[in-house]
């Protein structure tokens, strides 16, 4: 199963791909994103973004090609933002 997290508004849209494909990832997210791999068996496809920046704000899409399923979430970054963002699919 492949999981793709993307930002439709970026030229290089892919924020995170699982299994890991760093060559496809937008460089501004390198080393800052991960999934909860041990929870995937339970349907958990959350994206964790570390060291959140104002430029991370925007619409994110989680897509599972094998299932043809997707979900969208809007990240709003404020001065009170925690150190990571997690979306539960």
C-alpha to C-alpha distance for 77 and 80, rounded to whole angstroms: 8
pTM score of the predicted model: 0.84
Tokens standing for residue 53: 């920046």
**Is the pLDDT confidence value at 89 over 50?**
no
Q: How far apart are CA 45 and CA 69, in angstroms?
A: 12
Retrieve residue 41's tokens: 């068996």
Which domains, ranges and CATH numbers included, belong to the chain? 3-86 (2.60.40.10)
List pLDDT tens digits, range 40-76: 999 999 999 999 999 999 999 999 999 999 999 999 9
DSSP state of 15: E
Who's near 65: CB < 8 A, 6+ residues apart?
Answer: 2, 4
- Cβ atoms of residues 5 and 47 within 8 Å: yes
Q: Give the whole-angstrom CA distance, residue 66 versus residue 59.
A: 22
């Amino acid at each position: 199963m492949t999981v793709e997290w993307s930002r439709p508004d970026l030229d290089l849209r892919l924020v995170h791909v699982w299994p890991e494909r760093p060559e496809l990832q937008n460089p501004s997210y390198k080393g800052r994103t991960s999934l909860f791999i041990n929870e995937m068996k339970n349907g958990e496809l959350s994206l964790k973004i570390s060291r959140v920046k104002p430029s991370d704000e925007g619409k994110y899409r989680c897509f599972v090609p094998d299932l043809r399923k997707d979900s969208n979430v809007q990240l709003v970054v404020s001065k009170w933002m925690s150190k990571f963002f997690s979306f539960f699919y």
